[in-house]
Amino acid sequence: MKKYDIIVIGGGSGGLTVASGAASLGAKTALIEKRDTLGGDCLHFGCVPSKAFIEAANEVHAAKHIQDLGIETSGKISLKAVNDRVRQAIAHIQEHDSIERFEELGVDVYNGKATFKNDHEIDIEGQESLYGKRIVISTGSSPMVPPIEGLDEVDFITNESVFTMEQLPEKMTFIGGGPIGLELAQAMSRLGSEVTVIEAGPTLLGKEDQDIQKQAQAILERELHVVTGASVQRVRMENGKKMVYYSVDGEETSIASDEIFLATGRTPNSGSLQLDNAGVETDKKGFISVDATLRTNVGHIFAIGDINGTLPFTHVAGEEGKLVVQNALYGLSRKMSYDYMPWNTYLTPEVFHVGLTQQEAQEKHEEVLIYTNQLEEVDRFVTDQSYEGFVKIITDTKGKIVGAHAIGTGAGDWMQTVVQAMAEGNKIGDLSNMVYPYPNHAEAVKRTADQYWRNKLFSGPVQQVSSLFLKWFR
């Protein structure tokens, strides 16, 4: 049996970070991936295809609206052509995540489904077993299929099938109004489908700051039919249409469409690992429980990425991977912190999030200060004619940033300056002290932060001392 310093199960965002990091540090490293290719969900069914798809849909949308500048356009959308572009993006990035590249880095890559034989030995379907001194589980997650009557009889689409569709459905119903549902619902609508989103919760984007939720929903409702607070009862085929029956406030209604897209959350890929053989514990939903050092209850087995049920994002899986390389190889107990972990939802306009929402901050801190700025007050957004949205920065009473949120075109890029400030322990006033080239989008951050000095300097003792001095000086 081959012996390794570290075995990584799952060749996605988290697993690849660990495998390349460990091999680069000289550890004898094995990576087991059940699919033929590396890259995981992010590359094949998640971030990469969805962002390529969204970009194509936004180009179609822009082309339709170019008439405002006097140019006529006509023609029909080819969903196949859109998805060909998606495949090109995947193929380009796949080169970076190729098996050959990882082998060159010194990783032994095994292709097959991994299961635990015991807490140190892993079986690979149809192949030899491996021994690992340390084991990292990074097997990701899959679309969660809720127990809705009829879903086993009516075909539905998920993020795993949408990027191979060739025909644009005339009407689509999305069940679930989180990031996956909304990003793709808006894209489908921009390509020309008539889209309805049915969300069980009281609002869309349940994890966002409430003011952001409100504005995002108002903007999306111009392009999508949105139903919130809905309980989906059943789905079934009727006269060639896919019917979704749901009720709001006890009143039942239905909607007919050509396709149903399910985006109701994620379920962990832990079921087939035979974790019991290793004694690794999961929570009730099957997510693998870890402590802050990302160790499971079995000290030499770690779990990172979607499988541990913390924040299901590619960059989180990557950061967790970096930490685990240190903890696993050198026996350290460094702790993972999610305090300044940003995320961005790629709607138009984008929705950016870092730290606490206003609601969370007000629960956690005795007093918080809220600074907001509308994008219509920032010249670059005005010249772009794209000034819908706002920035909100939340601080404690000493100016320490505890959360920041934005909705606006490109927010994920220009809000990054706030993430850097938070990570370096800078305060809101520091964001105002930087120089921003005029006219850029990040000035939205500066204008929000300027309010801190305005409040500090132009009210209270500083203003009083200043006016006394000016009186005397005259």
Ligand X SMILES: NC(=O)c1ccc[n+]([C@@H]2O[C@H](COP(=O)([O-])OP(=O)(O)OC[C@H]3O[C@@H](n4cnc5c(N)ncnc54)[C@H](O)[C@@H]3O)[C@@H](O)[C@H]2O)c1
Ligand Y SMILES: Cc1cc2nc3c(=O)[nH]c(=O)nc-3n(C[C@H](O)[C@H](O)[C@H](O)COP(=O)(O)OP(=O)(O)OC[C@H]3O[C@@H](n4cnc5c(N)ncnc54)[C@H](O)[C@@H]3O)c2cc1C
Classify 87 as helix, strand or coil.
Answer: helix
The 8-class DSSP code of residue 195 comes to: E
410 binds, among ligand Y, ligand X, none (CB under 5 to 8 A by kind): none
Site for ligand Y in 178-197 (CB under 6 A): 180
Q: Rounded to whole angstroms, what are the CA distances from 101 to 37, 107, 161, 341, 401?
A: 12, 9, 28, 29, 41
Q: Is 15 in the site for ligand Y (CB under 6 A)?
A: yes
As a whole number of angstroms, the distance between CA 399 and CA 462 comes to: 17
Out of 54, 114, 290, 444, which residue is the one contacting ligand Y (CB under 6 A)?
Answer: 114
Is 169 within 8 Å of 257 (Cβ atoms)? Answer: yes
* Cβ neighbours of residue 44 closer than 8 Å, sequence gap 6 or more: 35, 37, 90
Residue at token pair 């949120």:
405
Question: Which residue in 86, 244, 265 sits closest to 180, CA to CA?
Answer: 265
Q: How many residues bind ligand X (CB under 6 A)?
A: 26
Q: Among 193-201, 234-242, 268-276, 437-445, which window interacts with ligand X (CB under 6 A)?
A: 193-201
Site for ligand Y in 27-46 (CB under 6 A): 32-35, 40-42, 45-46
Q: Is 130 in the site for ligand X (CB under 6 A)?
A: no
Out of 49, 179, 321, 342, which residue is the one contacting ligand X (CB under 6 A)?
Answer: 179
Q: Show the site string, 366-405: x = touches ligand X by CB under 6 A, - = not.
A: ----------------------------------------
176 binds, among ligand Y, ligand X, none (CB under 5 to 8 A by kind): ligand X
Q: Is 183 annotated as a binding residue?
A: yes
Phi/psi for 112 (5° steps) reads 160, 165
41 binds, among ligand Y, ligand X, none (CB under 5 to 8 A by kind): ligand Y
CB of 5 to ligand X, least distance (A): 31
Q: Is 148 annotated as a binding residue?
A: no
Side by side, the strands of the sheet bearing 369-374 are 343-345, 350-355, 401-408, 390-395, 369-374
Q: Show the site string, 302-321: x = touches ligand X by CB under 6 A, - = not.
A: ----------xx--------
Out of 146, 229, 331, 460, which residue is the one contacting ligand X (CB under 6 A)?
Answer: 146
Q: Among 88-96, 104-112, 195-203, 293-301, which window interacts with ligand X (CB under 6 A)?
A: 195-203
CB of 312 to ligand X, least distance (A): 4
Q: Which is nearer to ligand X, 29 or 213 (CB)?
A: 213
As a whole number of angstroms, the distance between CA 411 and CA 173 comes to: 28
Q: Is 343 in the site for ligand X (CB under 6 A)?
A: yes
Residue 258 burial by Cβ neighbours in a 10 Å radius (0-12, 13-18, 19+): middle
DSSP letter for each residue of 137-185: E---EEE-----BTTTTS--B-TTTGGG--S--SEEEEE--SHHHHHHH
Is 257 within 8 Å of 173 (Cβ atoms)? Answer: yes
Q: Which is nearer to ligand Y, 116 or 246 (CB)?
A: 116
Q: Which is nearer to ligand Y, 10 or 169 (CB)?
A: 10
* Cβ neighbours of residue 343 closer than 8 Å, sequence gap 6 or more: 311, 313, 315, 352, 353, 354
CB of 130 to ligand Y, least distance (A): 12
Question: Which residue in 46, 131, 60, 129 sits closest to 89, CA to CA?
Answer: 46
As a whole number of angstroms, the distance between CA 415 and CA 425 comes to: 16
Out of 106, 112, 192, 201, which residue is the one contacting ligand X (CB under 6 A)?
Answer: 201
Q: What letters, b where the CB count within 10 A reaches 16 and e where it falls short, cover 139-154?
A: bbbbbeeeebebbeee
Q: Among 78-86, 317-325, 341-349, 363-371, which window interacts with ligand X (CB under 6 A)?
A: 341-349
Using CB under 6 A, list all residues that contact ligand X. Answer: 146, 148, 175-181, 183, 198-201, 206, 232, 263-266, 312-313, 343-346
Using CB under 6 A, list all residues that contact ligand Y. Answer: 9-15, 32-35, 40-42, 45-47, 50, 113-114, 138-140, 159, 180, 269, 272-273, 305-307, 312-315, 317, 346
Residues that constitute the known binding site for FAD: 51, 139-141, 306
